[in-house]
Amino acid sequence: MAAAAPRRLFALSLLLTLAALTTAISAAVEPSYVLGADISWVQQREGERVKYAHNGRVMDMFDILKEHKFNYIRLRLFVDPTARVPEDTPNSDGWSASPYSAAGYCGLDSTVKMAKRVKAAGMGLLLDFHYSDTWADPGKQYKPVSWRGLNFSQLTERVRSYTKESLLAFKAAGALPDMVQVGNEVVGGMIHPDGRNNGADFAKLVNAGINGVKDVDPNIKIMMHTINERNPNGWVQTLKTNLNNAEANAANKIDVIGLSYYPKWHGNVDSLRRSLTAIANNHNYKVAVAEYADKHREVNDVVFALPANKRLGTFVWEPQEFSGDNSLPLFDWKNNRRETNSRIALYPIMAEAYGIEDGEGNTTGVININSRDRISTRNFSLIHGGTVAYNSNVPGVITVYSINGRMLGKIRVDKAGLYDPARMLNLPLKSGVYMLSIKSNSFLDERAR
């Protein structure tokens, strides 16, 4: 399939001002294909004075990833990472269970700070709710210590309120996620024992989490995360049935099904291909690999080979350091710091092959405003790509500002037509957050009357 025509990605969010009338618009980056990374450990490692480098030069992790055409970041969130899980709680896979972080890493405050860096870098954000104080995965889904006295009805209410309260904190910081993952590797349910297995109670907890997201912003996309085993296609169908039993049409609120894929546990690449193809063919969801750490090109080729309307992309898991399960990270420990290795060079190559890089080195994508491709008023429309369709023959002015309020330039418009601020200003605007002011003289005249 031919790649979409390259287009400069202008903004993550736009603030349009029509004279004295101000309308705030939330716009999420929708790359044609996601090249994502989960780098939740980076903040902690930086606190431990770990440095990251590329070509022998110390750099910010976000700059390294953007240089290699990553366009999305995934961050995990624990309820209380400082909590101590009771000693009699089984820990089936050997990961340290309690506390996850005495310093509170991957808790709300630290994750909001990390999310602000994601947004400042102009990248999409997937927030991964574990609904636990520590790791949640197929082997364990520990109920948060502070929730252990709740009955099921109270627990369901708490899942919704906790999700809402958390997202309101991100929103207040200007770092609202573009996508939310309701639970982590929930093939066996979540918040055990209440939501064990893929049954009715699990579906009620999932629905509570989804509703908590939609309480804050109905346009945030929802991902459900399972693994590449135990018949993922059948798991999705059972989840849909139980969700719809919990609340009419609840399954329609899901946008993406993400799978974890680690060859040691989940088979060869052909197995992954069969699973993703079955989900894409049988369900009206996009599909993604939400975690992988090996076979970098092969995994992405499998996802990209799916129909364009069914593929989302991939998220490589902790590529700066994870080397367990025979995985191959993108960084090596060298010169007392983590330095990129040759594997990271695959990502710009993939970006070019998949059509997510234009000739000027800008990440391509589409502005999606409230799940529509355009927003209109009487005198202008904002269409995908950040282009302004000016609908009036009365002169006006388009002014572009940085997110800090510094004016970057003005475009005087004399007649109706399409105006691309990024191109017309002839400025090296990068993917990021800008403010766009559009003032039409006809609008001013109308308000004067």
Q: How far apart are CA 159 and CA 165, in angstroms?
A: 10
Q: How far apart are CA 223 and CA 38, in angstroms?
A: 15
Phi and psi based region of residue 104 (left: phi greater than 0; alpha: psi -120 to 50; beta: remaining) = left
The neighbouring-strand residues paired with 227 are 260
Number of residues in the chain: 449
The neighbouring-strand residues paired with 389 are 381, 418
Q: How far is CA 95 from CA 226, 310, 324, 393, in A?
A: 19, 34, 12, 65
In eight-state DSSP terms, residue 227 is E
Strands (E), 195-273: 195-196, 221-227, 256-261
Q: How far apart are CA 321 and CA 394, in angstroms?
A: 57
The neighbouring-strand residues paired with 104 are none
Q: How far apart are CA 341 and CA 358, in angstroms?
A: 25
Structure-token pair, residue 174: 């200007």
In eight-state DSSP terms, residue 49 is T
Q: Is 360 a catalytic residue?
A: no
CB 160 within 8 A of CB 208: yes
Catalytic choice (30, 185, 339, 357)? 185
Catalytic choice (291, 318, 339, 357)? 291
Which phi and psi angles does 366 have, rounded to 5°? Answer: -135, 135
CB 50 within 8 A of CB 85: no
Q: Is 106 helix (H, G, I), strand (E, B) or coil?
A: coil
Q: How far apart are CA 157 and CA 163, in angstroms?
A: 10
Q: Is 291 a catalytic residue?
A: yes
Q: Other C-beta atoms within 10 Å of 356: how many?
A: 25
Q: Is 397 helix (H, G, I), strand (E, B) or coil?
A: strand
Angle at 49 between CA 47 and CA 50, to 5 degrees: 110
CB 33 within 8 A of CB 354: yes
- Find the helix or strand (DSSP H, E) in which 438 lies: strand 434-440
Phi and psi based region of residue 42 (left: phi greater than 0; alpha: psi -120 to 50; beta: remaining) = alpha
Could you list the active site residues? Answer: 185, 291
